Amino acid sequence: MRPPDHARRELAQLALTFALVIGVGAAFFQPWTPSPAPGGPDLNRYAPIVDGQSRLYLLQDAAEQLVGWESHNVSAPAVLYGVTHGLRPEVAIAVLARYGLSRTSSLSQDAEALGAVRLTIVRRRLLGRDGRVEPAEVFYARDDAGHHLVGLYDERSDATLVFEPFLQLYPRDLAPGSRWSSEGKANGQFDYRYEGEVVARGSRENALGRFDDCLQIRTRYVLRATSLVDRTTVEWLCAGAGTVESEIFDPSGALVRRSVPLTSAASLPPPPLMDAAQGEATLTSPDQWRLSPIAKANLSGAEFESTIRPAWLPLDPPLILAAAYNSDLLAFRADGDARGQLAWRFRTGGTIFGQPAFDPQRGRMYFGASDKRLYALDGRGLFLWSFLTGDNVATRPLVINDLVIFGSEDGGVYALDADTGALRWRAEAGAAVVSSPARVGDQHIIIGTDDGQVLAYAIEDGELLWDFDAEGPVEADIVVIGEVALVAVSTGRVLALDARTGAELWQHDVGGAVRHPPAVGAGLVVVLSHPGRITALSLADGRRLWNSAARRYSGAPVIVNDQYILVTDNDGQIHLSNLEGQRLMRWATSEHIAPAETGGRYDFIYGPEVGGGAIWAINARTVLWRLGP
C-alpha cells in the first residue's frame, strides 16, 4: 500500500535531514574503549564512541554566515537495554532482524547474537537563528563489519526513517585509498545509495586543538524520494577525537553547510524566561493544594533510585528537572495540559549527584556528575561545555556574575567562566567537598569540607579569607542569611558563624547526624536530624524552640510563605506544619498509585522543591509529584 502524498513528503524531508547530519557522526573523544570493542582497531581509533560524550557545533553557510548551532549528546546503552528501552520500536525491530532475531526471541538468544554489537544514540538538537529548536535522534550500530547508520527519529513530525540494509558509514578498516558503498531502501519505499572513500591522511587544527593523525573522508549520499536528495560530505576523523569538522556540498560542488566545533557558548541567544511575577508566584492556601504524579524520571522501568531533588526552571515554558541512578537528566514540562511531557533528556558519563543551578541571566543550568565533570546546558537542552575535575562533582554550583563556582571531591574549589567553562581560579580546600558554596554579598563565598573546615574565598581570585574548624564533616549546604552563615555538621551540631569574619555566634547539638541544609524563615532555623526528627531553633541565639517526634522524616525541610513547614517522609507522605511544629495537613502518595506500580516503595529521600506556585518532590522509584492548586 502506497503512503499518502503528505506522508511521502515528510519522509523525503526526513531523508534530507539525514543528508545534513550524516557527516557529523557519533564519534567523539573517548577515555576508554570496551574490550573487545566491535569494529576493529582502525574504526575505534578514528571513530571512537563514549557514553555521555557531547559536543557543540557552529553551523555556517557558504558565505560563512551563521546558520545556527547544533548540540550532539551520545548515549551508548548496553545492547539489550538499548533494544528493549533505548531505541524507537521501528529501529529496535530492524536491529533484531539484522542480527537474526525477533521481538519474541529469548534474552539468552539476544545476548549471544548481540554480544559483538554496540549501539549508539546521538541526541541532536539544532537551534536556528530564530530561536526554534529542531530535535532528532540518530541511531547507529557497530559490529565487526563496520559502523552503520540504522535510522533517524524526527521529533517535530514524529516520524522514523530506517535503512534496510543499514547504511554503512565507515568500514572496519580505514586507511588512505579505502572505498566502500551500501545501497538499499529507506523505510522500504525510497532507494538509497551511499559511497565513501578515505582520500587523505594529515593534520587538522580548530577550536578543539591540533590533531596530527587525521583521515579526510569523502562520502556521497543519494536518495530517490519524491525529489532527489544528493549530498556529498567531506569530514575529518582524527585519532582519539572522531569527527572534528565537516562540510556538505550539493551536486554542483557548491558548499551547503559547514559544521565547526565550538568551545564557547557566548554566541547562543538565551531561551525565553517566564515573567518575573510568575516565576516568584506565592503559594496559595494549603486547603487548595492537591497531590498528583506527573512523570517518572527513570524511563527504563528498572529499580534505580532518584539521585537529586527536583529542580524547577523559570523558563517559558517552565521545566522541572529530575535524575536517577544509571539514568539521564530529564526535563519535563511543568505547565498546564503539557505538564509531565518530556521536553528533553541529556546523558552524562556518570550519575548526577549534584543539584542543578539555574542562571536566569543566560537561561542556562550547571550541574555535576560522578564522571568528574561539571556540565553547562542551555535551557532548551543543548550541550554547551563541560569541565573535568579530579573526582565526583556533587555540589550545587553557585553562579555569580560571569563565574560558576563549585567544589569537587578532589578537594578543589573551582571558578569557571560561565560562557566558556575556562578555569578562572582554583583553590585547595584540603579535603573532599560535597557541601555547596554559599554567597556572602559581592566579596566572598563560603564552603564546607569533609574534614570539617568551613572556608571563605574571595570571589574575584579565590584568595582564602578565613577558615573555621567545625570539628566534624560538613556535608550539607551552608545557608547564608544576611551576615549569618548556618553550618550543619554531620555529627549533629548546628553552628551560626559571622559570615564576614568566621567568628562563632552560637551552636546547638540537635542529637543526631545532619546531612541536609536547614530551612530558614520567620526567625526559625529548622533542621532534620537522624533518625527523622525535626528541630526548630531560634535564628537569633540558637535556642531550641521545639522538637518533633521521630517519624521517619527525610530530606531537607522547607519553609513556605513564612507560615508553614513542609517535610517529606520515608512512607511517601508530605507533611505540613505551622511554625510551632503542629501538623496541619498530610498528603500520601499511596492514595494515588497502587503498590504494584511502585514496587511497594513510596519513600522520599531528598525533600521538596518550591517553584512556580507549587511544591515538587520525587520518591525513591523516581515518580515525580506536584503538590499545589
What's the pLDDT score for residue 37?
75
Mean pLDDT of 385-395: 97
Specify the pLDDT at position 280: 60
Please list the residues that pair with 326 across neighbouring strands: none
Grid cell listed for 33? 574503549
**Inter-residue contact 534 to 524 (CB < 8 Å):** no
pLDDT value of position 101: 75
CA torsion angle for 47, 48, 54, 57 (degrees, to 10)?
Answer: -20
Mapped onto helix, strand or coil, the DSSP state of residue 10 is: helix
Q: Which CATH superfamily is domain 276-628 in?
A: YVTN repeat-like/Quinoprotein amine dehydrogenase (2.130.10.10)
Q: Are 366 and 356 in contact (CB under 8 A)?
A: yes
Nearest CA to 520 out of 539, 535, 533 is that of 539
SS3 517: coil
Q: Which of 28-42, 331-345, 514-528, 549-563 has the lowest mean pLDDT?
A: 28-42
The full set of domain ranges for the chain reads: 5-262, 276-628
* Rounded mean pLDDT, 108-112: 67
Nearest to 37 by CA among 73, 74, 76: 76
Contacts of 623 (CB under 8 A, 6+ apart): 293, 295, 296, 297, 589, 593, 598
pLDDT tens for residues 500-554? 999 999 999 999 999 999 999 999 999 999 989 999 999 999 999 999 987 789 9
Over residues 558-581, the mean pLDDT reads 94
Please check the confidence at residue 116 and state whether its pLDDT lies above 60: yes
Our CA dihedral for 307, 313, 316, 319, rounded to 10 degrees, sits at: 20
Identify the pLDDT of residue 286: 92
Read off the pLDDT of residues 271-282 as tens digits, 9 standing for 90 and up: 999 876 565 657
Q: How far apart are CA 513 and CA 441, in angstroms?
A: 30
219 or 79, higher pLDDT: 219
Cell of 241: 577525537
Average pLDDT over all residues of the chain? 89
pLDDT of residue 23: 46
Residue 594, φ and ψ in degrees, nearest 5 = -70, 155
The pLDDT > 90 percentage for the chain reads 75
pLDDT at 35 over 70: no
pLDDT above 70 coverage of the chain, percent = 90
Amino acid identity, position 494: V
Mean pLDDT of 320-346: 93
Q: Which helix (H) or strand (E) holds 375?
A: strand 373-378
Q: Mind listing the pLDDT tens digit for each residue in 283-294? A: 888 999 999 999
Q: Averaged over 253-266, what is the pLDDT?
A: 91
